[in-house]
Chain A
């Protein structure tokens, strides 16, 4: 996504995350190893211990494979279902420039979905299987997507906070032990940091705007702060998958560590924006060298994850309807390919190079 027309004001702290992505990419290249497949538990363990990357042809424990499939599929689904709350404002964006930026952003998310489904496919599952699992409720997506975007300011707040949280989380996933996932994450992170920045920029303009715009911005931040904090998942002692994921280096930091990191990044950014974070207990703790803050309401998170958030049903109904409505199109593509190329082939229409083809004016 091209953002040459965004204001020069960068969210403070964002350079640091970008540097971490670059460093992870350098290490990925350095971790390249001579072509020797892991053939059993011992050689797999050696890969993990040696900070090498596990590749699709390597032997891996079933739990490792299943955990990765679960995590990457959930991530892919989040990109795809996460398009919905933002698409909600594309047709109403209040300027043509904002419309172009938002459209390009939502398009990027579709592209992220494609990279991630491909990464998961290297583990031996098909995109169709993952989509079925999503539509049948066997796989999940991130809970914040089940909240509604009610005003234009939500577009800014959503991107600033939830894309911002995604970046904090995903920067660490660029070092995931599974090669295809780590590489997909490097690509995704580069674009996510632009998403974060455009949200910050949209919100900054609102927060410095008319009284109605300022109120809209604050209201949106009030509603999105806790869904964003909850994105890191429950505290370590409540998380079901954390320990194994960390031992296998799929995941490298605990939910709590990442959440703290996110809060520390947001506080100075909120100051620059001129918005208040909705937590009266939020303050700097010099002893810890971190901000103290009030945790999300975990019961609420549990309710939303269980399907009882404001938009769970709407999001899934939309997904299923789009998938069903598109069935005749996919069938036509398959039938056409069978007639003309002697066999079914994936009807990959031109995917564009998201970054290159956006035509956003400078």
Chain B
């Protein structure tokens, strides 16, 4: 686990989350959400660009943000599985954002005061952004969980489907600038009360899917990359 690897993970998480979130643009339940979700996607994309650029610099092999985003294959991406899961409906998007943004916010808070000043700079900006993402996801989790019978059913299904994937976020990595293992407790302390207030139930921890950090992804991920990289790869060496 090199410094390049750990920054790359952060960048891949943000990039893939941005790519999924961007799908909601012009597909949201109301116009205000088109604006809000596009905003969140833009924040995530901005984080991804800064992190991938920094990772490329650490590596020193001349790979910039686009080389890293567009010219790696599935097996070379190290994002957590959670962020690559497709958004079957708005409830999945909201609950996923609640889980992921809370994790990111805790992580960025610690990185912002860490020894790596470049990373601290990137994280400092991202702390504010992810704080807003958490607030947005919280508001919607409450509305959906405590809204109608139908919205509660969908929100619960989203929690049931996504919760198992949260474990991977906190797998120990003692060499990383911040070991994610230490974030599980504070994360649960933030997320559980939101779910409870939303009348949602946390499922059993019986399944803990993993693999993203070593490039073992879900089957759907190849399609996400294929779509994202298609134009870039069709024109090798072109400028955009």
Interface residues of A in 161-209 (CB under 8 A from B): 202, 205-206, 209
Give CA–CA (A92, B233) in the complex, Å: 11
Q: B42-50, B179-187, B188-196, B213-221: which one contacts chain A?
A: B42-50
Given known A90-B25, A103-B22, A326-B29, contact A351–B231 (CB-CB < 8 A): no
A332 contacts B151, CB within 8 Å? yes
Contacting residues, chain B, for A96 (C-beta < 8 A): 15, 45, 48-49, 52, 65-66, 69
Other-chain residue from A90, A103, A212, A339 in contact with B146 (beta carbon distance below 8 A): A339
Q: Does B228 touch A at the CB level, under 8 Å?
A: yes
Which one of A99, A205, A329 contacts B90 once the chains associate, using CB atoms below 8 Å?
A329
**A33 vs B227: C-alpha distance when bound (angstroms):** 55
Tell me if B240 and A95 are in contact (CB < 8 A). yes
Which residues of B are found within 8 Å of A94, using beta-carbon distances? 70, 231-232, 235, 238, 240
B150 within 8 Å of A (CB atoms)? yes
A333-355, CB under 8 A of B: which get 1 and which 0? 10111011000000111111010
Contacts of B139 in A (CB 8 A): 349
Q: How many residues of A contact B (CB 8 A)?
A: 60
A359 touches B43 (CB 8 A): yes
| Nearest CB on B from A331, distance (A) | 5
B35 at the interface (CB under 8 A from A): yes
Interface string of B90-103 (1 = CB under 8 A from A): 10000000000000
Q: Could you give, for residues 110-131 of chain A, a 1 whenever the CB lies within 8 Å of some chain B CB and a 0 otherwise?
A: 1101100100000000000000
Scan residues 64-80 of chain B and give those whose CB is less than 8 A from a CB of chain A: 65-66, 69-70
Q: Which residues of B contact A322 (CB under 8 A)?
A: 26-29
Quick one: which of A98, A117, A202, A352 contacts B39, CB cutoff 8 A? A352
Stretch of B113-121, B128-136, B156-164, B166-174 at the chain-chain interface: B128-136
Docked complex Cα distance between A352 and B36 (Å): 6
Q: Which residue of B lies closest to A329 (CB)?
A: B29
Chain B residues touching A, majority SS: helix
Instruction: Tell me, yes or no, whether B142 is within 8 Å of chain A by CB.
Output: yes
Given contacts A97-B49, A100-B49, A331-B151, whether A114 and B26 have CB atoms under 8 Å apart is no
Contact status A95-B36, CB under 8 Å? no
A235 to chain B: closest CB distance in Å?
Answer: 33
**B49: nearest chain-A partner, CB-CB:** A96
How many angstroms between the C-alpha atoms of A288 and B33 in the bound complex?
49
Is B230 an interface position by the 8 A CB rule? yes
Check if A349 sits within 8 Å of B25, measured CB to CB.
Answer: no
Contact A326 B25 (CB under 8 A): no
A104 is contacted by which of B23, B34, B42, B65 (Cβ under 8 Å)? B42
A83-B34, A106-B38, A360-B42 given; A325·B25 CB < 8 A: no
Give residues of chain B (1-45) contacting chain A, Cβ–Cβ below 8 Å.
15, 19, 22-23, 25-36, 38-39, 41-43, 45
Shortest 8 CB-CB contacts between residues of A and residues of B: A326-B29, A332-B147, A332-B151, A359-B46, A107-B38, A329-B29, A83-B26, A110-B34
Residues of A within 8 A of B (CB): 80, 83-84, 87, 90-100, 103-104, 106-107, 110-111, 113-114, 117, 152, 202, 205-206, 209-210, 212-213, 318, 322, 325-333, 335-337, 339-340, 347-352, 354, 357-361
Q: Which residue numbers of B lie inside 8 Å of A, CB to CB?
A: 15, 19, 22-23, 25-36, 38-39, 41-43, 45-46, 48-50, 52, 65-66, 69-70, 89-90, 125, 129, 132, 135-136, 139-140, 142-144, 146-148, 150-151, 154, 227-228, 230-232, 235, 237-240
Besides A87-B25, A96-B69, A335-B151, 15 new A-B residue pairs in contact (Cβ under 8 A), listed by A number = A87-B26, A95-B66, A97-B240, A103-B41, A103-B42, A152-B231, A212-B235, A325-B89, A327-B29, A329-B33, A329-B144, A333-B147, A340-B146, A349-B32, A354-B35
